[in-house]
Amino acid sequence: MSYTINELETPVPLVDLDRLARNLDRAAAYATEHGLGLRPHIKTHKSPRIASEQLRRGAVGLTCATPFEAEVMSSVCDDLLVAYPPVGQPRAARLAALPETVKLTVALDSARAVDDIAAAARDADRPIGVYVELDLGMHRVGLPRVEDALALARAVRDKAPLEFEGIAFYPGHVREPVDRQAESLASLSRAIAHAIETFDRAGYRPSVVSGGSTPTLWHTHELPGVTEFRPGTYVYNDRTTAAIGACAWDDCAFTVLATVVSTAVPGQAVVDAGTKSLGREPMRGTDSADGFGALLDRPEVSVKSMSEEHGILDLSRTEWRPSVGDRVRIVPNHVCIVVHLNDTIVGVRGDSVETSWPVAARGRGYEVELTANTSST
Amino acid sequence: MSYTINELETPVPLVDLDRLARNLDRAAAYATEHGLGLRPHIKTHKSPRIASEQLRRGAVGLTCATPFEAEVMSSVCDDLLVAYPPVGQPRAARLAALPETVKLTVALDSARAVDDIAAAARDADRPIGVYVELDLGMHRVGLPRVEDALALARAVRDKAPLEFEGIAFYPGHVREPVDRQAESLASLSRAIAHAIETFDRAGYRPSVVSGGSTPTLWHTHELPGVTEFRPGTYVYNDRTTAAIGACAWDDCAFTVLATVVSTAVPGQAVVDAGTKSLGREPMRGTDSADGFGALLDRPEVSVKSMSEEHGILDLSRTEWRPSVGDRVRIVPNHVCIVVHLNDTIVGVRGDSVETSWPVAARGRGYEVELTANTSST
């Protein structure tokens, strides 16, 4: 049966399957070439199906942020890093309850997190690996002083069944265009070298040094001592990734198909993809583009403003004048957010609908527990 | 069984049931007092349960944006307005397929939308009411020239089984603090009066004049000729609504419960609610507040920046220094977006967990159709 995107209700998220495969292949080849462990962050796709494709291409394991993501991914992978502080009894206990066949590692930066995950590990009678998280410039989580990180590694060693496995950092502050990252990467390299040396001297040589992002992906091998990297966005890519040169525009595999629903106000066109379909993510790392997404076939046309179900196209840089009923494909600024807004992704080749899959790890996965508890009040 | 929010996994959205009831009561009383038809927009809660509470208090019907919202709400209401252009065969057909017991009305602003919904109405052999949408200053959808709107009303009358029922507008541009809206409302009143007069003179007296929002809610009776209003946010309220004075801070019924997961970087605290829990919505209509949400008990503490699963608290205006593991309740800037990010809402009284309900109309509701179609390719 012939079935094209023209028959789909909009707004709907599409993934170009050929581009997806190319993106997966390229990162896998890079990891192999440089002897790096690719441990992709699944936050971008939240799909066991895409995760399986990453593992089949040689990924050493997966990175997750939430307990639910780890639960969903445990169906396809037995080596999971939860790169998020395991703080609080509910979160720690849920992580420790992952299938015993899963080698579980967490990243953390506080004594409280050590205590919480140690208690959960003891209760569940399972080993849990620990990366101590360093702040190497992003200033989000992670310990800024290496000495503090080392003290935490000591605390981990004292808390069996926790096992100190290495150090982690996230270079989310390196957002310059790829060809202008040299200075940031040099600074990052010095910080990494200092951390490794400090740990090593104290007898805590990290067997894993885990870092990396999509913006720095292709420079990971230039960071001395890094053994694994955790890019997420590279599977689909997005407008920001293309703008900083970490992918080509033609590597953007993910679009939102939308319909022009109004041209009543002169000089603009309104599509049915708004904040509930595109998110409201700014461009980062570049001053060359504004708006919240751009048309795949007309990158000069951006989504200049949005309401929840309305996106307003900026027609100031184009002669093109769409009609009500026309359809457009929008490359979002930040794809991870957009995936999270959807339940189902449609896989296409050209205009042909080939398949669809659920965003299985979207949400928190705790509905049943709440309802069950509630029924007894 | 005693069950408190302290036992909940975070991040989790909470609704204070007493505040919710108070918000519902207040708007219902206002509508009764002024003889206005309250047709709440369900985009804020997306829940048949809350919708039923609105209807029980006298709402004349419900307003929806998407076909899925209308499908879900048809289980509790037989008078639905879809205040969104019914453009494209899939969308129009899906609307026309709503249960026949539902009195369906759509708002539109183009000949193409008239054609699409007329074709669907004929195919389904059902009457569908039409509001012609005017742009009275928001410049999103709606016809700026009343004469064009009148021409569209004529086109509707020519397309049985469509029925011209009235005119609609959305005063989303009126975002000033409530006590400074006089000028905007006077201008809006003149535009409404002109539109009604023009339609009336041409023999198209609108039996319904539909407008209103939460920011202008309590001024609706000052808009001459308006017969119904469609506020959404008022059920939960949010930081923006409080900031412009359309509700008190204590009327904010919706919070996101979050846990402090890191204080490793000096001068800040990181909570586990980021863009995937809070959205990234700016404050609007006020210069007095920044950030993406504020603590319920410490409104001077805002969420100053976010990643997907991280929110960074701005501690510059407080002496309070939280510890890892502490919990906070965050009032989001824009609650409609936050509800849309969740599958389940937890109803509380004080710290006691009383109930939970699904965000039933979240998403698009077309997964099955896609999968079914796909299986035959």
pLDDT tens digit sequence for B295-309: 999 999 999 999 999
Q: Is residue B251 part of a domain?
A: yes
- Closest Cβ–Cβ partner in A265, A323, A356 for B135: A265
Q: Of A45-59, B83-97, B169-183, give the lowest mean pLDDT range.
A: B169-183
The answer to whether B262 contacts A344, with C-beta atoms less than 8 Å apart, is no
- Closest Cβ–Cβ partner in B139, B264, B355 for A109: B264
Q: Walk across the sheet containing A79-82 and list its strands.
A: A37-38, A228-229, A208-211, A162-168, A128-133, A103-108, A79-82, A62-64
The answer to whether A377 contacts B354, with C-beta atoms less than 8 Å apart, is yes
Do B255 and B227 lie in one domain? The reply is: no
Q: Taking every pair of C-alpha atoms in chain A, what is the biggest distance, in angstroms?
A: 70
Note whether B34 and B221 are within 8 A (CB): yes
Q: How far apart are CA B293 and CA B277, in angstroms?
A: 11
The vertex-B247 CA angle with B242 and B251, nearest 5°, equals: 95
The answer to whether A342 contacts B354, with C-beta atoms less than 8 Å apart, is no
Whether the per-residue pLDDT at A370 is higher than 60: the answer is: no
The answer to whether B325 contacts A374, with C-beta atoms less than 8 Å apart, is no
Q: How far apart are CA B215 and CA B231, in angstroms?
A: 8
Percent helix, strand, coil in chain A (nearest 5)?
A: 35, 25, 40
Closest CA of chain B from A236, distance in Å: 17
Distance of CA B78 to the CA centre of its chain: 19
Share of chain B above pLDDT 90, in %: 93
Q: Is residue B152 part of a domain?
A: yes
Whether the per-residue pLDDT at B376 is higher than 50: the answer is: no
- Look at residues A237, A257, A278 and tell me which one is the last residue of a structural domain: A237
- DSSP-based three-state secondary structure for B15: strand
Please report residues of B whose CB lies closer than 8 A to that of A276. Answer: 337, 340
Share of chain B above pLDDT 70, in %: 97
**Banded pLDDT at A374 (limits 50, 70, 90):** very low
pLDDT value of residue B367: 58
Which of the residues B42, B240, B257, B262 would you substitute to probe the A interface, choosing the one with the greatest number of A C-beta atoms within 10 Å?
B262
Do B230 and B347 lie in one domain? The reply is: no
**Residue A106 exposed, middle or buried by CB count within 10 Å (0-12, 13-18, 19+):** buried
pTM of the model: 0.96
Residue with tokens 């998403």: B363
Report which of residues B284 and A58 the model is more confident about: A58
- Look at residues A189, A218, A237 and tell me which one is the last residue of a structural domain: A237
Do B173 and B297 lie in one domain? The reply is: no
pLDDT value of residue B377: 32
Q: Is residue B363 part of a domain?
A: no
Please report residues of B whose CB lies closer than 8 A to that of A15. Answer: none
Q: Is residue A371 part of a domain?
A: no
Closest CA of chain A from B270, distance in Å: 7
Q: Of A5-9, A146-150, B25-29, give the lowest mean pLDDT range.
A: A5-9
- Average pLDDT of the residues of chain A: 95
Share of chain A above pLDDT 70, in %: 97
B107 forms bridges with which residues in the sheet? Answer: B131
pLDDT value of residue A367: 58
Chain A residue closest to B312 (CA)?
A140
Please report residues of B whose CB lies closer than 8 A to that of A65. Answer: 308-309
What integer is the mean pLDDT of B200-215?
95
The answer to whether B308 contacts A142, with C-beta atoms less than 8 Å apart, is no
Note whether A209 and A196 are within 8 A (CB): yes
Whether the per-residue pLDDT at A123 is higher than 60: the answer is: yes
Do B72 and B218 lie in one domain? The reply is: yes
Is omega for the bond preceding B40 within 30 degrees of 0, making it cis? Answer: no
Closest CA of chain A from B248, distance in Å: 24
Whether the per-residue pLDDT at B54 is higher than 80: the answer is: yes
What's B274's domain CATH number? 2.40.37.20
Q: How far apart are CA B211 and CA B189, in angstroms?
A: 11
Taken as a whole, chain B contains a residue count of: 377
User: How many domains, chain B?
Assistant: 2
**Banded pLDDT at B21 (limits 50, 70, 90):** very high
pLDDT value of residue A288: 81
Please say whether the dihedral angle defined by the alpha carbons of residues A131, A135, A136 and A140, taken in this order, is positive or negative.
positive
The answer to whether A1 contacts B376, with C-beta atoms less than 8 Å apart, is yes
Do B200 and B285 lie in one domain? The reply is: no
pLDDT digit string, tens, across residues B214-229: 999 999 999 999 999 9
- Average pLDDT of the residues of chain B: 95
- Closest Cβ–Cβ partner in B65, B109, B341 for A262: B109
Range of the domain at A197: 17-237
Q: What is the pairing mode between strands B103-108 and B79-82?
A: parallel
What is the number of other CB atoms lying within 10 angstroms of the CB of residue A180? 11
Do B253 and B212 lie in one domain? The reply is: no
Q: Is residue B366 part of a domain?
A: no
Whether the per-residue pLDDT at A334 is higher than 50: the answer is: yes
Chain B residue closest to A305 (CA)?
B140
pLDDT value of residue A1: 53
Please report residues of B whose CB lies closer than 8 A to that of A11. Answer: 364
Do A86 and A233 lie in one domain? The reply is: yes
Q: Taking every pair of C-alpha atoms in chain B, what is the biggest distance, in angstroms?
A: 70
The answer to whether A366 contacts B9, with C-beta atoms less than 8 Å apart, is yes
- Closest Cβ–Cβ partner in A11, A264, A342 for B110: A264
Residue with tokens 């349960």: B49
pLDDT digit string, tens, across residues B176-201: 999 999 999 999 999 999 999 999 99
pLDDT value of residue A110: 98
Q: How far apart are CA A152 and CA A142, in angstroms?
A: 11
Q: Is residue B300 part of a domain?
A: yes
Do A151 and A281 lie in one domain? The reply is: no
The answer to whether B377 contacts A354, with C-beta atoms less than 8 Å apart, is yes
pLDDT digit string, tens, across residues A70-122: 999 999 999 999 999 999 999 999 999 999 999 999 999 999 999 999 999 99
Whether the per-residue pLDDT at A375 is higher than 50: the answer is: no
- Closest Cβ–Cβ partner in B3, B265, B346 for A144: B265
- Look at residues A201, A218, A237 and tell me which one is the last residue of a structural domain: A237
Chain A residue closest to B358 (CA)?
A367
Give the count of alpha carbons within 13 A of A24, CB side only: 20
Do A159 and A33 lie in one domain? The reply is: yes
pLDDT digit string, tens, across residues A283-301: 988 888 899 999 999 999 9
**Banded pLDDT at B2 (limits 50, 70, 90):** low
Of B266, B235, B258, whose CA–CA distance to B357 is shortest? B235
pLDDT digit string, tens, across residues B312-370: 999 999 999 999 999 999 999 999 999 999 999 999 999 999 999 999 999 998 753 55
What integer is the mean pLDDT of A59-63?
98
What integer is the mean pLDDT of B75-81?
98
What's A195's domain CATH number? 3.20.20.10
Q: Is residue B302 part of a domain?
A: yes
Please report residues of B whose CB lies closer than 8 A to that of A143. Answer: 264
**Banded pLDDT at A3 (limits 50, 70, 90):** confident
The answer to whether A275 contacts B341, with C-beta atoms less than 8 Å apart, is no
What integer is the mean pLDDT of B291-298?
98
Please report residues of B whose CB lies closer than 8 A to that of A374. Answer: 3, 353-356
Taken as a whole, chain A contains a residue count of: 377
Do B212 and B226 lie in one domain? The reply is: yes
Do B132 and B57 lie in one domain? The reply is: yes
pLDDT value of residue A41: 98
Q: Is residue B280 part of a domain?
A: yes
- DSSP-based three-state secondary structure for A16: strand
What integer is the mean pLDDT of A296-319?
97
Torsion of CA B100, B103, B107, B108, to 10 degrees: 40
pLDDT value of residue B289: 85
Closest CA of chain B from A354, distance in Å: 6
Do B105 and B222 lie in one domain? The reply is: yes
Whether the per-residue pLDDT at B374 is higher than 70: the answer is: no
Closest CA of chain B from A33, distance in Å: 31
- Closest Cβ–Cβ partner in B91, B264, B344 for A110: B264
The answer to whether B263 contacts A3, with C-beta atoms less than 8 Å apart, is no
**How many CB pairs lie under 8 A apart between chains A and B?**
248
Which of the residues A277, A364, A367, A371 would you substitute to probe the B interface, choosing the one with the greatest number of B C-beta atoms within 10 Å?
A364
